[in-house]
Structure 1
């Protein structure tokens, strides 16, 4: 397993002891000196996030002597949100560090523009953004691919025009990508499996809520989790995997079963619906009914594993709505909503990624590609396992987003 989170290195710099002296007067007017010792924990959050990167060269801008006015485009899966805001923040800091190191000001400054679809996960809009950015002729593009099957035509065009391509977070198998920056999703999924198995007492059934069916990232997280359960926790059954972007297809299945008499809505009896005017259509099924169907079809499930913040919160919201308080939930990301659910005891633990580090490393990798000084094929952005017990530790809290 590649390096996860170098906590031991961080702990050494986390605590700073402070001592102070004060003078007070006694009742007879004489001064009395007292010494007050106190300890305050301080953590440089940026340092924490950048030290998680492996290789460490991607956490600094040394030797990146870019030409004045260099333009780098960074594209995410969404224009905003907890995770993507941190990616943007990290990328902006890297560019700021480059300009400071090179003394660039005004029009000479190296520029970086972050952009993403207004609706998270919109493949068509992301491809359009990529087209628009390539038309501006950046020296390099860093992109988190929504659909692993999209973008190859644009990447060919980039190569023809000497534009370097780096992928981060959600990757592509395109052969000319200069570097891939991401969480070690196989290892992270396996770690989540170990922790969940302990919570489950190594017995029971777990469902997987996956955030999409199109990215390599999702498949790695699903496979890493399922394979670890199968290999080391045979008493646990990994049940069905439900992809949140296939909810509309699931609604069609539900409608077909209702019409065929093999499934009934709450409060109704299952019976074939012969009258065309009374038949149920997919658009008649709500998101809540789709979730009701999932739980009805998996009555023995006692745990859920979510591959993203969206998937984790879908599990939390619907288990609470259905009053399934005994359901154990773990998954990826550490958004504000998830952190609150963790604190409230609704989630057992979370794999916190390092979006700030991803953004920073993406700019570094793009810069290295522009300068033709070589890149690692894969850069591990790091992760950490967060629970209610450790989430307030400063070096752990630094990874919340």
Structure 2
């Protein structure tokens, strides 16, 4: 089959070259051929991400006859970071494909913006961005909610202005959402629980680390993981949880224990004066968690940021025995995985998520109807398989 394809490709190249020679423009033919190869290479790069999307209708732009000059707004949890950059690439690719399919050029092109808080997971800034985008009257809007309950007022205003809203990455229970484009957080978290149990021989203590406590995706990943442990692994215990957005509460918890004499930081004696919570650093908090649970065997992290936080903490504490399982696949995570510091990662499909969000938004703008949930898939990545061709295509 490969030889046949090579023969066909060679014949095509000869035909193109001959045609170009006849018109006296060989260099243009070579340039066109190079551009075609580049285009095919690009398509291969992201096709694997689109193939993971279910239903399949959300993996392509067929039938999306948006009006010329339509504007779609996409708002993430962050303006940067490798995960969100991959989402943005998917968004831009979908719009590029759509304009090409519809033949829109210049002012007729469908326009899209991707925006997000400069500081990741900043609820107030995201709400401000949402307000600004609604004032621009997009034909549809997609948003990954930092706080599942923070945007209801804006969504009511969007409904009044006939602006359909699609959630992606992390949704909410708001009844007016046209669709939610996401990984299957319940299924992936339960799979992570099973992998963790296997890694610690189905017995021992686990601590959960989450970047936030307010987004629905983070809540689902924490709750489903804990539920799977309780239901299927009776000798495994989730003994504590740390949420980065609740650092002040944890600082107070540590300070209260120090002041009560039930916990002392390394090398310190009982203080003669009361310790203030703001004198406790995040590193102090994480050391406290491991000190209070010296027999912990594993750490489960619900996001890439949380994974990197745990890896750094485990390195400082020199706890090479701990098993770490979490989400995403940025450069720091992949380096830690290749070094054997991470047991495994639930790798999402941010490119596909961005692409499918544009499709869902376009369908909503056209009042074409949407699936309530669009599943963009995930894959389990380990030190053993991350170099495999099919896996590498999904990494970002």
TM-score past 0.5 threshold: yes
* Cα pair distance change 1:261/1:375, threshold 3 Å: same
Pick from 319, 331, 340 the counterpart of residue 324 of structure 1. 319
Partner of 2:34 in structure 1? none
Q: Work out whether 1:358 is the aligned partner of 2:386.
A: no
Asked if residue 367 in structure 1 is aligned to residue 346 in structure 2, the reply is: no
Q: How many angstroms does 1:279 deviate by?
A: 2.2
Judging changes above 3 Å, is the alpha-carbon distance between structure 1 residues 301 and 87 closer, same or farther for their aligned structure 2 residues? same
2:213 alignment partner in structure 1: 213
- 1:190-236 Cα offsets, whole Å, 9 max, x none, are 11111111111111111111121101111111122111112222121
Q: TM-score, normalised by structure 1?
A: 0.87
Q: Under a length normalisation based on structure 2, what TM-score does the superposition of the two structures give?
A: 0.89
Runs (4 or more) in structure 1 with deviation over 6 Å come to 15-20
2:276 maps to 1:281: yes
Residue 313 of structure 1: CA displacement?
A: 1.0
Which is further off, 219-228 or 353-362?
Answer: 219-228
- Aligned residue for 1:241, secondary structure, equals strand
SS of the aligned residue for 1:50 comes to: helix
Q: What does residue range 328-343 of structure 1 map to in structure 2 within 5 Å? A: 328-343=323-338
1:116-159 alpha-carbon deviations (Å, 9 max, x no partner): 00000100000000000000111111000000111111000000
Number of residues of Structure 1 aligned to a counterpart in Structure 2: 362
Indicate if the aligned counterparts of 1:51 and 1:59 stay in contact, CA closer than 8 A. yes
Return the structure number with greater strand share: 1
> RMSD across aligned C-alpha pairs, in angstroms?
1.8
- Separation (CA, whole Å) in 1 of partners of 2:150 and 2:3: 49
Indicate if the aligned counterparts of 1:69 and 1:110 stay in contact, CA closer than 8 A: yes
Q: Residue 111 of structure 1 corresponds to which residue in structure 2?
A: 111
Match of 1:24 in 2: none
Partner residue in 2 for 1:8: none
* 8 Å Cα contact 1:104-1:110 kept in structure 2: yes
1:1-400 aligned within 5 A: 44-270=44-270, 273=272, 278-400=273-395
The secondary structure found in structure 2 opposite 1:213 is coil
Q: Secondary structure at the match of 2:265?
A: coil
CA distance in 1 between counterparts of 2:330 and 2:194 reads 22
**Cα displacement (A) at 1:161:** 0.5
Whole-Å separation in 1 of the counterparts to 2:386 and 2:3: 20
| Alpha-carbon displacement from aligned partner over 1:37-75 (angstroms, at most 9, x marks no partner) | xxxxx9923110001000011010000000000000000
CA deviations over 1:139-192 (Å, ceiling 9, x no partner): 111000000111111000000011010000010111010000111001000111
How many Å separate the matches in 1 of 2:298 and 2:163? Answer: 45
What are structure 1's unaligned runs of at least 5 residues?
Answer: 1-12, 21-41
Q: Is the 8 A contact 1:262 1:270 kept in 2?
A: no
3-state SS of paired residue (2:238): strand
Are the equivalent residues in 2 in contact too, given 1:205–1:301 (CA < 8 A)?
Answer: yes
How big is each residue's C-alpha offset from its partner over 1:349-378, in whole Å with a ceiling of 9 and x where there is no partner? 000001101100110000000111110000
Alpha-carbon offset, residue 19 of structure 1 = 7.6
SS of aligned partner of 1:44: helix
Kindly indicate whether the alpha-carbon contact (under 8 Å) linking 1:336 and 1:400 is maintained by their aligned counterparts in 2. Answer: no
